Structure 1
Amino acid sequence: MNFDFPWWGYVLVVLFLIFLRDIFQKKHTIQHNFPLVGHIRYFLESFGPELRQYIVANNREELPFNRQQRTWIYASSKTENNMQGFGTDQDIHEPGYVFIKPAMMPFRLDEKHPSFKKTSYCPSAKIVGPHRQKPYHPQSVVNISAMSYGSLSGAAITSLNLGAQMAGCYHNTGEGGFSSYHAKGGDVVLNIGTGYFGVRDENGNFSLEKLKTLTSKNPCIKMLELKLSQGAKPGKGGMLPGKKVTQEIADIRGVAVGKDVVSPAYHTAFVDIPQMIDFIETMANATGLPVGLKSAVGKLDMWETLAQKMKETGKGPDFITIDGGEGGTGAAPRAFADHVSLPWVYAFSSIYKIFQKYGLEKKIVFIGSGKLGLPEKAIMAFAMGVDMINVAREAMMSIGCIQAQKCHTNTCPVGIATNNKWLESGLNPELKSVRFYNYLKTINKEILELSHACGYEHPSQFTMEDIEISMGDNNRTIPLSQAYGYQKTEVVFGGF
């Protein structure tokens, strides 16, 4: 006797088994109390960020980057229309709203001007480490911030480095060390964190010989950045889960395969400010390269000591990268990401004033990072005293990041913040490198356009009086100088 069991019968059997499993399991209360239906809750939760950003949140509501900001980056990277119609949709009277003050007569750019046809070429106004053996003049005021291979996939690092070569910007390695993916043609800044990855001995201590060998073999390395802390988790070392530590990453970092890699919260090569200055000078003398610091900001007493010692000795960092507490691309404990370290505007203004007090602001190249990769944010940063900005999440978005906020899970759906080979295989460096190049070309172009509208040739010429901030309900605005209590020192730009 033939009996064809209908297909829907199998479906019912499976659903019944799931029903029984839900009732008798004790791990998930919702599934126990609402068999079958309870699974919908976990399904929706699995793509909650994507659901909110595409359906629930309005254009200006979502954080870290709202839809309007992401749309501008996506359109710019694809050379699509990134304009805005029908005026602004922002409340221009809300507290903290930034106003850029245009000049009555914009800067005149005509056919006789050397940069007339270089609409997106905007080099740094300062040379980094002019007294070093190998000074460096960055050819872009917008550059790639510190993001490690391991935290980001090899395909993502390759895309950014190829794009950096096309755009003429530099590419910061992050504390994970220099990899083959960083050697695709772009200028490189070697980030040296507390784990000394790539330049450490068998005991995990800093090795000057390994640093000398690495920099001599890779002339693309133009600067060294000593990382004290970062915006997302200052005072806490980085952590790479063992499941992400492949043989390749282990070889690059000098660690064991498959084991968690936890960076110390502090450096072992020095314990105080004088020793740190000596360490900086030792690296600079051994490699000939400019050396700088990267740090988030909290207590200011040691920054004061650093400025004092630099004034007394004439030694110290050639550049200082200030990271805001709103920064962060990888994993961080919630309390650290949300509450530890000052936001960028307060952090940078505090540090700039200290070095200005000791007359060091002209000798140091200041770099800002922390959600500054949008034209208006960049202009405000230049007005406050930065010479360049570094972009991280904005660079990630230009190569396809959708702000899924899964960087810490190794399940990044677009193959950027993951070592999963299947997910990474969907990211095409040949295409994405062009996307990053387009983004960087566009932001440099708009930074220059804003500068010209305000009567300047270069963004470094902005002053604290050129930007005003809304005070909200009292219908007043105040200039940056009044808001943060200092006047930026004039930066002399020699022209294109």
Structure 2
Amino acid sequence: MEWLPGFVASVVQIGALVFVCALGILLLLLAYIYVVDVTQKTHAIRRNYPIIGRFRYYFEHMGEFFRQYFFALDREELPFNRAQRSWIYRAAKNIDSTVAFGSTRPLNHPGDIIFLNCLFPTLRENFLPSGVVTIGDGYTRQPYTPNSIFNISGMSFGALSVPAITALSSGAKQAGIWLNTGEGGLSPFHLQGGCDLVFQIGTAKYGVQAADGSLDPDKLAKIAAHDSVKMFELKLSQGAKPGKGGILPGVKVTSLIASTRGIPEGQPSISPNGHPEVRSIEDLLEFLRKIREITGKPTGFKMVLGSWEWLDELGQCIHERGLEYAPDFITVDSADGGTGAAPQSLMDYMGLPIKRSLPMVVDKLSEYGLRERVKVICSGKMTNPGEVAWALCMGADFVVSARGFMFALGCIQAMQCNKNTCPTGVTTHNPELQKGLDPANKANRVANYAKNLLQEIEVIAHSCGVAQPRLLQRRHAQVINGDGVPVALNEIYPEVETRAIYLARDEDTAESA
């Protein structure tokens, strides 16, 4: 047994050597993974959080197999559930968007939409491209004919980062869709991609404000001189915070953002809750006419509907003043719209959801014979094909989304938009976090998302038996009522006929012309 101590010592030495070698290999492997993660440009989480960021994708994958053991199911998470986000991620990455086993929608939840497939769906040889809709035709010097039904809603520079805006601009160009600047002014990064732009004028009039806060005609004309700026949108209110202006925390007001907006650096940027120039329907129409005359381009307004009596006043006032005073478009936002920062009391309790407001606006315009003159843009949680197809059924001419494209950029719904700590670089101005978002890669995802969503809308339209999405009508869909029973949309919202007085007035105008 005299050999035992020496044997044990040898085993210990070998074990220690193996441990050191294994540890060395592990450290080398971790170093390799670290280098791979920080140099790749596809996944912002892995780039910003090397090594540990990989666990997110592992847990996301394993969640499919362990879902029966957890309470958080596909349709439970808010404001966007896992099923909604997963579809957007797959569409943005241009990977297989089919699912197996069965739908996770209960199909009996009040408010859910069901489309009515046709016994004889439209065959491929009968497919048609989406019809052309021109905004401002006959009433502006430079009317605009968009290429796409689905476009990017307002997200301002300041709320979003430099690489995010850059990616949206380039992705919009690839997909042939427009990008709304949001209320934060026009930055070089909006122009960089060469896409069509809608310039939004918020209550603070960032980028076009005079010293006293009023509209500066010279600055507005300078913005309009850009060929890529196609339309102007006057923002009266926003779904997530009706009656409250934009809120940009001081930590997000960098020197670049301050110079773009024309505000002091490092100070919170709080917009007024309304336009002092617009205190009545007459003021609104006059202000829109002024913007249209200066820019020569289609001009409309954005609002979230609450009280609706003013819709009648709007229709009457337009006919009294003349159709040239009408807005070229109205953007209808939903009470469940998104934002970077808002009081919870407004976000939770104020305004009407889009399923109530959109049909009301469309029907009022029809009632006053303005449906051809005024185009309708639908906004507010329009991220998936079903929601967009529903909006087309209800009469929207165009649909816009903000948060859908944020998901396409890599947003993981971390709810850090107002804290400058967004882990994916979408809504932060921290250079260390921004580096995870590669504009070139994310631009491709933005374009993929738009193209795949439009393709899915066409699938719905063809299944309903129409040749292209703009032919969808209310008779093609039903909504689940409080009893869990589907009810036809055209029964809930029957088509509205134009008042005879306005039909006669239009005929008289045409004859005199």
Q: Of 404, 408, 414, which aligns to 1:404?
A: 414
Q: Of 297, 308, 317, which aligns to 2:316?
A: 308
In the alignment, does 2:259 pair up with 1:251?
Answer: yes
**Equivalent residues of 1:100, 1:468 under 8 A apart:** yes
Residue 208 of structure 2: aligned partner: 199
- AA aligned to 2:216 is S
Distance in 1, Cα, partners of 2:123 & 2:229: 37
In the alignment, does 2:187 pair up with 1:179?
Answer: yes
What is the CA-CA distance between 1:95 and the residue it aligns to? Answer: 2.4
What is the CA-CA distance between 1:114 and the residue it aligns to? Answer: 8.3
Cα 1:123–1:208 shift into 2, 3 Å: farther
Residue 98 of structure 2: aligned partner: 83
Distance in 2, Cα, partners of 1:487 & 1:58: 40
- AA aligned to 2:211 is E
**Equivalent residues of 2:127, 2:467 under 8 A apart:** no
Q: Of 55, 68, 82, which aligns to 1:67?
A: 82
Residue 446 of structure 2: aligned partner: 436
What is the CA-CA distance between 1:94 and the residue it aligns to? Answer: 2.8
**Equivalent residues of 1:290, 1:318 under 8 A apart:** yes
Q: Of 369, 372, 378, which aligns to 2:379?
A: 369
Aligned residues: 430
Structure 2 matches for 1:289-438, cutoff 5 A?
289-312=297-320, 313-314=322-323, 315-438=325-448
Q: Secondary structure of the equivalent of 1:82?
A: coil
**Equivalent residues of 2:148, 2:176 under 8 A apart:** yes
Residue 220 of structure 2: aligned partner: 211
What is the CA-CA distance between 1:243 and the residue it aligns to? Answer: 1.8
Distance in 1, Cα, partners of 2:458 & 2:404: 19
What is the CA-CA distance between 1:249 and the residue it aligns to? Answer: 1.1
Distance in 1, Cα, partners of 2:157 & 2:248: 11
Distance in 2, Cα, partners of 1:328 & 1:304: 28
Q: Secondary structure of the equivalent of 1:450?
A: helix
Structure 2 matches for 1:417-496, cutoff 5 A?
417-471=427-481, 473=483, 476-486=485-495
Q: Deviations over 1:449-478 (max 9, x none)?
A: 1111111122221111110122354x6321
TM-score w.r.t. length of structure 2:
0.81
TM-score w.r.t. length of structure 1:
0.83
Cα 1:487–1:301 shift into 2, 3 Å: closer
What is the CA-CA distance between 1:105 and the residue it aligns to? Answer: 1.7
In the alignment, does 2:114 pair up with 1:99?
Answer: yes
Distance in 1, Cα, partners of 2:144 & 2:295: 13
In the alignment, does 2:173 pair up with 1:165?
Answer: yes
Q: Percent identity?
A: 38
Distance in 2, Cα, partners of 1:61 & 1:346: 23
What is the CA-CA distance between 1:485 and the residue it aligns to? Answer: 4.8
- AA aligned to 1:189 is V
Cα 1:214–1:97 shift into 2, 3 Å: closer
Distance in 2, Cα, partners of 1:297 & 1:206: 25
Q: Secondary structure of the equivalent of 1:136?
A: coil
Q: Deviations over 1:343-366 (max 9, x none)?
A: 111111222222121011122111
What is the CA-CA distance between 1:390 and the residue it aligns to? Answer: 0.4
Distance in 2, Cα, partners of 1:424 & 1:56: 33
Q: Which moved more, 1:455-464 or 1:422-431?
A: 455-464
Q: Deviations over 1:156-192 (max 9, x none)?
A: 0111110000000000000001101100211000000
**Equivalent residues of 2:249, 2:418 under 8 A apart:** no
Q: Secondary structure of the equivalent of 2:103?
A: coil
Residue 275 of structure 2: aligned partner: 267
Residue 41 of structure 1: aligned partner: none
**Equivalent residues of 1:143, 1:170 under 8 A apart:** yes
Q: Deviations over 1:291-332 (max 9, x none)?
A: 011000101122221121112221221011000001113111
What is the CA-CA distance between 1:56 and the residue it aligns to? Answer: 5.1
Residue 32 of structure 2: aligned partner: none
Q: Deviations over 1:260-295 (max 9, x none)?
A: 111101102332211221111111122110001100
Cα 1:124–1:154 shift into 2, 3 Å: farther
Runs of 4+ that moved beyond 6 A:
none
**Equivalent residues of 1:373, 1:389 under 8 A apart:** no
**Equivalent residues of 1:173, 1:189 under 8 A apart:** yes
More helix by share: 2
Q: Secondary structure of the equivalent of 1:204?
A: coil
**Equivalent residues of 2:385, 2:457 under 8 A apart:** yes
Residue 232 of structure 1: aligned partner: 240
Cα 1:465–1:169 shift into 2, 3 Å: same
Structure number with bigger Rg: 2
Q: Deviations over 1:406-426 (max 9, x none)?
A: 111111110001111111111
Q: Secondary structure of the equivalent of 1:106?
A: coil
**Equivalent residues of 1:463, 1:488 under 8 A apart:** no
Q: Secondary structure of the equivalent of 1:468?
A: strand
Distance in 1, Cα, partners of 2:72 & 2:154: 30
Q: Secondary structure of the equivalent of 2:487?
A: strand
Distance in 1, Cα, partners of 2:266 & 2:497: 49
**Equivalent residues of 2:127, 2:468 under 8 A apart:** no
- AA aligned to 1:355 is L
